[in-house]
Amino acid sequence: MSTFLKQFFTWWNGNQLNFRFHLWRNAEKVGEDEFGNVYYQGGKDSEGRPRRYVVYTDISEPSLIPPGWHGWMHHKTNVAPPSAAYEAYEWQKSHRPNLTGTVSAYRPKGSLHHTGERPRVTGDYDAWSPGE
């Protein structure tokens, strides 16, 4: 399927054409992140703050927004990461994809999918049974 048709008929493959037309008329480009997502700002929201938008590179995946851009998108800061005044905090981690549903997903002890045996129930546990 061509890129044009994907953008015309689906919202999860990039952005629809009407959204891009809106950005072209009402927003200015602020920057781009390491994943190729492009960030825009333009217009005002209901609280009088500037509207902020992201155009994803490929599939619309909000977990691909890096921490600095996430703070800017949600109005936690007015300094966007490409700005010289932007400084990342030491506790900010680089992006890791959501691995839920994959072989690499987190599986704590006691999980049915955890390798090995489940821990034994200790004496401080009383099983509930109906009618008690």
Instruction: Check the CA dihedral 70-73-78-83 and report its sign.
Output: positive
CA-to-CA separations, 52 to 38, 70, 110, 114, 118, in angstroms, rounded:
11, 11, 42, 41, 47
Banded pLDDT at 4 (limits 50, 70, 90):
low
Give the number of C-alpha atoms closer than 13 A to the C-alpha of residue 46, restricted to the C-beta side.
Answer: 0
CB 80 within 8 A of CB 71: no
Name beta bridge partners: 115.
Answer: none
Give the residue extent of every domain in the chain.
3-73
Q: Give the pTM.
A: 0.61
**Highest mean pLDDT range out of 58-62, 75-79, 116-120?**
75-79
Q: What is the pLDDT of residues 7-29, one digit of tens each?
A: 566 655 556 555 666 666 778 88
Least confident of 41-50, 63-72, 113-122: 113-122
